[in-house]
Amino acid sequence: MLDLTDRVAVVTGSSRGIGRAIAVKLAGLGAKVVVNYNSSEDAANEVVEQIAAEGGEAIAVQADVKVAEQAKQLIESALEKFGQLDILVNNVGITRDTLLMRMKEDDWDIVIETNLKGTYNCTKVAQRPMIRQRYGRIINITSVSGVAGQVGQANYSASKAGVIGFTKAVARELGVRNITVNAVAPGYVPTDQTADLPQELIDYILNLTPMRRPGTAEEVANAVAFLASEEASYVNGQVLGVDGGMMAIML
């Protein structure tokens, strides 16, 4: 059984959806968790309360991770409260979907800054205590859209493809320090972020999925928990698809 007792985890964007499931899963395995949110304070506090009700320990910390100083404060909050940082899950992600010909520069910039620069900001700060203790697990949430691209998601696909390249590069830098860096690439998972997808697109995605069903946030969280554990100690620089087999067809 996976065991994260005495580990401390920061999960960005964990007030809802996949991030919430990850925070709850890690806490359930014994980790102390920093639940990060940008604007949903009530939702983040609900996650903390759920973790506490299940016997875990967590705090909620506000930070917009695309802002370097706020990302730094997020990591420092974990260190101040719990004295260490063992696991970083870069989960924050937003979409601004539209065809490239209609895409505004602001829609491009905010998606790249949030999804890719936010991952850079948090990882750059988090690596320092991990290097000092010669231990760490960094898990970045990418997407099948970052692996194969998606119509109407030039900005999102570019950001998530960038996360994959970032993951592989940093894995090579930090592996010698006993710090692993991996990515998880979910397929279609119903969340608030995907709630506005047209039904015809959902049907198209599911037709490309051999299992013919959407994934769940908990299934993604299970993969993250494995990569955060000792059982994955020799897994580094990898992209783990949690997509029902979609990439087996698309690539």
Asked whether 212 and 174 are in contact (CB, 8 A), the reply is: no
Read off the tokens for 103. Answer: 């895409």
Strand ranges (E), the chain:
8-11, 32-37, 58-62, 87-90, 136-141, 179-186, 239-242
C-alpha distance from residue 249 to each of 150, 156, 241 (Å): 14, 21, 13
Read off the tokens for 97. Answer: 């979907």
| Catalytic residue of the set 156, 188, 204, 234 | 156
* Cα gap 5→100, rounded to integer Å: 46
- Residue 156 among the catalytic residues: yes
Catalytic residues: 156
